[in-house]
């Protein structure tokens, strides 16, 4: 089994799941095609394809089809993901093959897959989609008025995960990284990410037309698709004010290092 990158007829990249014979796993491909139709990014499709590949590997060892599973199989799948080997049981606090956060991501993909199957009439998939009432007992959630007491989807199985604060760089580290860059392109990219806070994929999709230097503005205009493969998750246009120092660094990069390249993109990848 493997998650395989594919190029669609329109030139865009996506992912699918292949079995041991190199053939497409049809149920998984139908779900991944559904994600593509919803406009999910290739990286999102890749994440779901990887999770489904692991699920089909587990089903192969369990001798069970995807449409004949039960909640017990899902619980065993969690143990299978965490165990370093099939004959090893991971104790609490022990070293698992995948972290709790990774297991939960795989489970989220799995339940999304079976939610899709349930909507398409697969009977056993209904057992893997749990529902709860938002007005259960005397508790009234803060946003109860938004659901009106209707059922709310939830995952029936989740691994306990220790929450950790995200690690950040100090001011001195932020200053040291650009100084260590040997090329203006790298220095400009690092400063751009640090000052604007935009994701790397969004920065790599920037066009020269997005820089309005005389206004010290950076326009975020989500295109339908980037020829260089970069993709931003934002769906709405935005304007980010930038410093004069970043504008000068951009100008130096364009005139001193960008050369005669006629690409529309700021970062030619």
Q: Which is more confident, 177 or 124?
A: 177
Are the C-beta atoms of 247 and 188 separated by less than 8 Å? no
From CA 126, how far away is CA 122, in angstroms rounded?
Answer: 7
Tell which phi-psi region holds residue 129, choosing left (phi > 0), alpha (psi between -120 and 50) or beta: beta
Distances in Å between the Cα of 59 and the Cα atoms of 54, 68, 120, 179 are 9, 10, 21, 51
pLDDT band at 202 (very low <50, low <70, confident <90, very high): confident
Rounded Cα–Cα distance for residues 85 and 97 (Å):
8
Reference 41, options 80, 69, 15, 6; nearest CA is: 15
Q: Quick one: pLDDT at residue 91?
A: 52
Burial of 218 (0-12, 13-18, 19+ CB in 10 A): buried
pLDDT at 165: 74
DSSP 86-153: TT--PPTTS--SS-HHHHHHHHHHHHHHHHHHHHTT-GGGGGG-EEEETT-TT---TTHHHHTT-EEE
Instruction: Quick: pLDDT tens for 135-170.
Output: 444 545 454 555 455 555 555 556 666 677 778 888
Nearest to 129 by CA among 144, 145, 141, 116: 116
| φ, ψ at 18 (rounded to 5°) | -115, 145
Residues 97/84, Cβ–Cβ less than 8 Å: yes
Contacts of 266 (CB under 8 A, 6+ apart): 203, 206, 207, 208, 210, 211, 250
What domains appear along the chain, each with residue ranges and CATH number?
2-154 (no CATH), 171-257 (1.10.443.10)
Average pLDDT on 246-262 reads 79
Mutual orientation of helices 42-62 and 71-82 as an angle, nearest 10°? 100
**Which single residue is written with the structure tokens 């020269």?**
208
Which range is least confidently modeled, 23-37, 43-57, 167-181?
167-181
Paired strand residues for 220: 238
pTM, to two decimals: 0.66
For residue 45, pLDDT beyond 60 = yes
Bridge partners of 15, per DSSP, are 5
pLDDT at 85 over 70: no
C-beta atoms surrounding 6 within 10 Å: 16
* pLDDT tens digits for range 21-40: 999 999 999 999 999 888 78
């Amino acid at each position: 089994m493997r998650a395989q990158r594919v190029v669609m007829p329109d030139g865009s990249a996506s992912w699918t799941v292949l079995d041991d014979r190199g053939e497409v796993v049809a149920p998984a491909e139908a779900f991944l095609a559904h994600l593509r139709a919803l406009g999910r990014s290739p990286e999102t499709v890749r994440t779901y394809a990887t999770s489904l590949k692991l699920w089909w590997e587990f089903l192969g060892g369990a001798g069970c089809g995807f449409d004949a599973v039960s909640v017990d199989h899902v619980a065993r799948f969690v143990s299978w993901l965490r165990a370093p080997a099939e004959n090893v049981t991971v104790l609490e606090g022990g070293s698992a093959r995948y972290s709790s956060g990774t297991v939960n991501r795989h489970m989220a993909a799995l339940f999304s897959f079976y939610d899709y199957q349930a909507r398409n009439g697969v009977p056993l998939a209904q057992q893997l989609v749990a529902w709860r009432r938002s007005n259960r007992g005397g508790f009234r959630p803060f946003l109860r008025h938004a659901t009106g007491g209707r059922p709310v989807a939830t995952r029936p199985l989740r691994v306990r995960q220790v929450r950790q604060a995200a690690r950040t760089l100090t001011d001195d580290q932020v200053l040291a990284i650009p100084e260590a860059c040997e090329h203006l392109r790298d220095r400009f990219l690092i400063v751009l990410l640090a000052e604007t806070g935009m994701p790397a994929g969004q920065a790599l999709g920037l066009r020269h037309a997005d820089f309005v230097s005389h206004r010290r503005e950076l326009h975020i205009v989500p295109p339908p698709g980037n020829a260089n493969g970069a993709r931003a998750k934002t769906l709405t246009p935005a304007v980010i004010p930038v410093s004069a120092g970043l504008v000068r660094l951009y100008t130096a990069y364009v005139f001193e290092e960008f050369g005669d390249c006629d690409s529309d993109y700021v970062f030619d990848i």
